[in-house]
């Protein structure tokens, strides 16, 4: 049976040497922020039990600093960050730090000081992660703060100066596997183990603790960590890895960060020169071809992209520099477990998807964060043109000469074209327009943009009931097209009091060849949440509800129809409810005949982030 997993290992001939090898005894320091993962799901307590079950009788000391949750499902105290020693037989409390937040760098420094000196120490951060700009962790007792990378570094510096670098630092958290984090942490650890993508709620599998006492060198230990993580994630999601959200966990040799950063800087200088000489649009096209981390898996706008996939997107323009980066990348990433063979396992920041977020302080934060000078200068140069450039919003009228739905672009918009998509809408009369589906099967020939629209939509089916469900396309990846669908999840207590009612995003993969739909997961929606690990088990809820709203068209000051994202929802909705103890499925099928006419609107993206909507184009007239 073919296993959809890529494990890359190097330096195996050196496994018995001192570089990265662990001695007779090892230590693992775990900085565990329980947050909502614990209070709502008991996930921290579950992992503590996993650790205790895997602890060997000797050869490994495990110290845990736990806090940051209002309610624990174990012996952990919710009152203050507390230090525990873990063994196979249980947990022993050693000390605590009342009045402190787990999001305070001083608490991390206190933990390291309390842990004291010991051989072959590794440090693991457990909780949410949002990448180098958003930071790590979410403390329910201090909800407005994050533990930022520079605060982690400030806590590590005195400890490492006194005792020496950690054998490895790991993040059982989302999105922390980046070039920026590697650059900041390389003075403080020999290796970094982290995910460039969103981790599922199950996170790491701690069976690897039994191997830590065996004296394995870090690359070989990482093989166990990555393999166990991959297998546990697949088991938790219960599906074909090709049809699942992205899975990735990698181990980086931080001693090889500098050569990679040097070659990335050289490539970035060439890219910066291209921007200066008028090639912004070409580089913007390259950037838009690379999916951002966390978009499908967590609905996040991170502007973090896989480094190899980014370099491959510009390789035709800068072949020598791109090849040099990829060679250094293959050396630094000593192991990677992923269900996408093109992923390198490490990401890099490249702003392109959210101007408002970038201008809210991300620009200044990145200048102070990134240790790669050449790449940082390129990001500044690219972002200046991205921010300053803007095309006038123009109404896009249908092209009557085309047999397919089509619009004609202005020469300026065609030159700055960065993609297009469409929505199929049904006229609900006085209830506005309902969305049937959206897709991106479009072709630009000169200035004529045509859409090859499959006249189908998705249906939620349970028993004899079926109801249309609006899928929002996120990205295409190999043989699958990935969608989100907004739903509500309901949990009913036995006495039917205090119902839990949560908005969620259901994740659906559609096989591009067979059109078969697979529900690969769901995550709870939280406005403004820029961290992952929000996946939920649908079967732990009682009901799933979906609704189809009517939307009123919106117009700009000149009377031009705005893109459908900006339309106004009505209060009225039609819906369906599914009991989650009964089987249900999603199915792509032809749009069922209804009373209202069918229309489509084409929306064009330009390289500066603008969206340009067309007039409504009649597809199927039901009321002649």
Q: How far is CA 35 from the centre of its chain?
A: 19
Residue 381 clears pLDDT 60, i.e. is over it: yes
Tell me how far apart the alpha carbons of residues 433 and 554 are, in angstroms, rounded to a whole number: 12
pLDDT value for 439 = 87
CB–CB of 250/194 below 8 Å?
A: yes
pLDDT value for 3 = 35
Assessment of whether the complete model's pTM goes beyond 0.85: yes
Of residues 54, 333, 365, the one with CA closest to residue 195? 333
- Residue in the structure block whose two tokens are 């819906």: 575
Tell me how far apart the alpha carbons of residues 299 and 616 are, in angstroms, rounded to a whole number: 28
pLDDT value for 157 = 96
DSSP state of 562: P
Torsion angle defined by CA atoms of residues 165, 168, 170 and 176, in that order, rounded to the nearest 10 degrees: 70
Cβ neighbour number for residue 143 with a 10 Å cutoff: 12
Tell me how far apart the alpha carbons of residues 410 and 415 are, in angstroms, rounded to a whole number: 9
What would the pLDDT profile of 196-245 be if each residue is shown by its tens digit? 999 988 899 999 999 998 889 999 999 999 999 999 888 877 667 777 77
Tell me how far apart the alpha carbons of residues 177 and 508 are, in angstroms, rounded to a whole number: 25
pLDDT value for 529 = 65
Q: 415-419, 454-458, 491-495 — which is least confidently predicted?
A: 491-495
Dump the DSSP string for 258-308. HHHHHHHHHHHHHHHHHHHTT-HHHHHHHHHTSPBTTHHHH-----EEEHH
What would the pLDDT profile of 386-410 be if each residue is shown by its tens digit? 999 888 877 798 998 888 999 999 9
Q: How far is CA 353 from the centre of its chain?
A: 14
Which pair of structure tokens corresponds to residue 160?
Answer: 């490492």
Distances from the Cα of 507 to the Cα of 243, 246, 261, 518, angstroms: 10, 12, 35, 8
Q: For the chain, what is the mean pLDDT? A: 89
What would the pLDDT profile of 112-129 be if each residue is shown by its tens digit? 999 988 778 999 999 999
pLDDT value for 24 = 57
Residue 19 clears pLDDT 70, i.e. is over it: no
Dump the DSSP string for 82-118. EEEEEETTEEEEEEE-TT--TTSHHHHHHHHHHH---
CB–CB of 81/102 below 8 Å?
A: yes
What would the pLDDT profile of 125-166 be if each residue is shown by its tens digit? 999 999 999 999 999 999 889 999 999 999 999 999 999 999
To 5 degrees, how large is the angle CA 119–CA 121–CA 125?
165
pLDDT value for 18 = 35
Average confidence (pLDDT) over 540-546 = 93
Of residues 615, 512, 525, the one with CA closest to residue 563? 615
CB–CB of 213/58 below 8 Å?
A: yes
Average confidence (pLDDT) over 12-18 = 34
CB–CB of 34/69 below 8 Å?
A: yes
What would the pLDDT profile of 341-363 be if each residue is shown by its tens digit? 889 999 999 999 988 889 888 88
Q: Confidence band (pLDDT; 50, 70, 90) for 532?
A: confident
Of these ranges, 251-265, 396-410, 543-557, the one predicted with the greatest mean pLDDT is 251-265
What would the pLDDT profile of 292-331 be if each residue is shown by its tens digit? 999 888 888 899 999 999 999 999 999 999 999 999 999 9
pLDDT value for 528 = 63
Share of the chain above pLDDT 70, in %: 94
Residue 587 clears pLDDT 50, i.e. is over it: yes
Q: Please count the helices (runs of H) and the strands (runs of E) in the chain.
A: 16, 28
pLDDT value for 306 = 97
Q: Give the contacts of 438 (CB within 8 A, at least 6 positions apart).
A: 421, 422, 423, 424, 470, 471, 472, 473
Q: Which residue has the higher pLDDT, 165 or 17?
A: 165
Residue 41 clears pLDDT 70, i.e. is over it: yes
Tell me how far apart the alpha carbons of residues 484 and 296 are, in angstroms, rounded to a whole number: 8
pLDDT value for 17 = 32
pLDDT value for 455 = 83
What would the pLDDT profile of 303-314 be if each residue is shown by its tens digit? 999 999 999 999
CB–CB of 158/204 below 8 Å?
A: no
Tell me how far apart the alpha carbons of residues 104 and 90 are, in angstroms, rounded to a whole number: 28
What would the pLDDT profile of 138-149 be if each residue is shown by its tens digit? 999 998 899 999
CB–CB of 552/565 below 8 Å?
A: no
Tell me how far apart the alpha carbons of residues 611 and 624 are, in angstroms, rounded to a whole number: 32
Which pair of structure tokens corresponds to residue 215?
Answer: 């004296």
Residue 405's φ and ψ, nearest 5 degrees, are: -55, 125
What would the pLDDT profile of 71-97 be if each residue is shown by its tens digit? 999 889 898 999 999 999 999 999 999
pLDDT value for 552 = 95
Share of the chain above pLDDT 90, in %: 66
């Amino acid at each position: 049976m073919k296993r959809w997993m890529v494990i890359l290992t190097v330096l195996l001939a050196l496994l018995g040497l001192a570089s990265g090898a662990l001695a007779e005894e090892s230590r693992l320091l775990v900085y565990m922020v329980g947050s909502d993962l614990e209070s709502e799901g008991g996930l921290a307590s579950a992992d503590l039990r996993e650790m205790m079950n895997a602890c060997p009788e000797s050869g490994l000391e495990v110290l845990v600093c736990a806090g940051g949750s209002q309610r624990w499902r174990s012996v952990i105290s919710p009152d203050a960050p507390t230090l525990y020693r873990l063994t196979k037989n249980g947990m022993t409390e050693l000390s605590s730090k009342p009045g402190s937040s787990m999001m305070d760098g001083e608490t991390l420094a206190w933990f390291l000081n309390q842990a004291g000196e010991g051989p072959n120490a590794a440090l693991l951060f457990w909780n949410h992660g949002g990448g180098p700009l958003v930071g790590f962790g979410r403390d329910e007792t201090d909800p407005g703060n994050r533990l930022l990378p520079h605060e982690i570094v400030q806590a590590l510096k005195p400890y490492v100066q006194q005792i020496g670098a950690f054998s490895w630092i790991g993040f059982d958290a989302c999105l922390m596997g980046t070039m920026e984090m590697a650059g900041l942490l390389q003075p403080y650890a020999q290796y970094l183990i982290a995910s460039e993508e969103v981790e599922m709620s199950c996170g790491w599998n701690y069976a690897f603790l039994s191997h830590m006492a065996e004296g394995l060198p870090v690359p070989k230990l990482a093989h166990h960590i990555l393999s166990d993580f991959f297998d546990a994630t697949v088991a938790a999601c219960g599906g074909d890895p090709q049809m699942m959200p992205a899975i990735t966990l990698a181990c980086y040799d931080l001693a090889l960060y500098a050569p990679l950063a040097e070659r990335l800087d050289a490539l970035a200088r060439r890219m910066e020169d291209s921007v200066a000489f008028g090639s912004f649009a070409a580089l913007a096209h390259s950037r838009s071809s690379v999916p951002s981390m966390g978009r499908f898996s967590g609905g996040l706008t991170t502007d973090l992209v896989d480094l190899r996939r980014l370099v491959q997107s510009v390789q035709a323009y800068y072949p020598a520099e791109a090849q040099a980066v990829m060679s250094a990348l293959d050396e630094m990433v000593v192991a990677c477990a992923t269900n996408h063979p093109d992923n390198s396992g490490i990401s890099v920041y490249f702003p392109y998807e959210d101007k408002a977020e970038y201008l809210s302080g991300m620009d200044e934060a990145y200048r102070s964060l990134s240790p790669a000078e050449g790449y940082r200068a390129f990001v500044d140069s690219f972002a200046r043109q991205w921010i300053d450039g803007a095309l006038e919003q123009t109404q896009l009228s249908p092209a009557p000469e085309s047999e397919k739905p089509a619009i004609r672009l202005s020469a300026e918009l065609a030159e700055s074209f960065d993609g297009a998509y469409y929505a199929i809408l049904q006229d609900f009369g006085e209830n506005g327009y309902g969305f049937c589906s959206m897709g991106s099967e479009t072709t630009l020939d000169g200035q004529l943009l045509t859409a090859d629209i499959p006249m189908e939509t998705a249906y939620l089916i349970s028993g004899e009931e079926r109801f249309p469900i609006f899928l929002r396309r996120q990205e295409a990846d190999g043989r699958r097209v990935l969608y989100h669908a907004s739903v509500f999840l309901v949990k009913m207590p036995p006495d039917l009091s205090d119902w839990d009612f949560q908005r969620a995003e259901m994740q659906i993969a559609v096989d591009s060849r067979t059109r078969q739909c697979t529900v690969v997961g769901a995550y709870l929606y939280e406005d403004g949440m820029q961290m992952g690990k929000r996946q939920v088990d649908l079967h732990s809820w009682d009901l799933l509800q979906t609704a189809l709203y009517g939307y009123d068209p919106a117009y700009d000051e000149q009377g031009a129809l705005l893109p459908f994202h900006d339309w106004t929802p009505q209060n009225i909705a039609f819906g369906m409810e599914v009991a989650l103890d009964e089987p249900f499925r999603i199915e792509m099928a032809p749009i069922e005949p209804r009373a209202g006419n069918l229309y489509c609107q084409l929306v064009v993206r330009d390289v500066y982030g603008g969206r340009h909507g067309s007039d409504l184009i009649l597809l199927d007239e039901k009321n002649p």
